[in-house]
Amino acid sequence: MSKVLDGVLAANASYAANFGDKGNLAMPPAAHFAILTCMDARLDPAKYAGLSEGDAHVIRNAGGRASDDAIRSLVISYKLLGTREWFVIHHTNCGMEFFSDELMRSLLASSLETAALDANGFHDVGKGPGSLEGEFIDWLTIRDQAQSVTADVQRIRNHPLVPKSIPIYGYIYDVKTGKLLEVPSATQAGKPT
Ligand SMILES: [Zn+2]
Q: Say which residues have a Cβ less than 8 Å from residue 112's Cβ, sequence separation at least 6.
A: 126, 129, 130, 131
Distance from the alpha carbon of residue 44 to the mean position of ligand 1, in angstroms: 12
Looking at residue 136, what is its pLDDT?
97
Look up the pTM and report it. 0.95
Residue 163's nearest CA partner among 49, 31, 75, 89 is 75
pLDDT in single tens digits along all 193 residues of the chain: 799 999 999 999 999 999 999 999 999 999 999 999 999 999 999 999 999 999 999 999 999 999 999 999 999 999 999 999 999 999 999 999 999 999 999 999 999 999 998 888 899 999 999 999 999 999 999 999 999 999 999 999 999 999 999 999 999 999 999 999 999 999 999 999 9
Pairing of strands 121-123, 116-118: antiparallel
Looking at residue 134, what is its pLDDT?
97
Distance from the alpha carbon of residue 113 to the mean position of ligand 1, in angstroms: 20
- How many residues does the structure list for the chain? 193
User: Exposed e or buried b for every residue in 154-189, given b needs 16+ CB within 10 A?
Assistant: bbbbeeeebeeebebbbbbbeeeeeeebebeebbeb
Pairing of strands 168-173, 121-123: unpaired
Looking at residue 120, what is its pLDDT?
86
Looking at residue 169, what is its pLDDT?
98
Distance from the alpha carbon of residue 145 to the mean position of ligand 1, in angstroms: 10
Mutual angle of helices 145-157 and 68-79, in 10-degree steps: 50
Distance from the alpha carbon of residue 50 to the mean position of ligand 1, in angstroms: 20
Looking at residue 119, what is its pLDDT?
86
Q: Which amino acid is at 91?
A: H
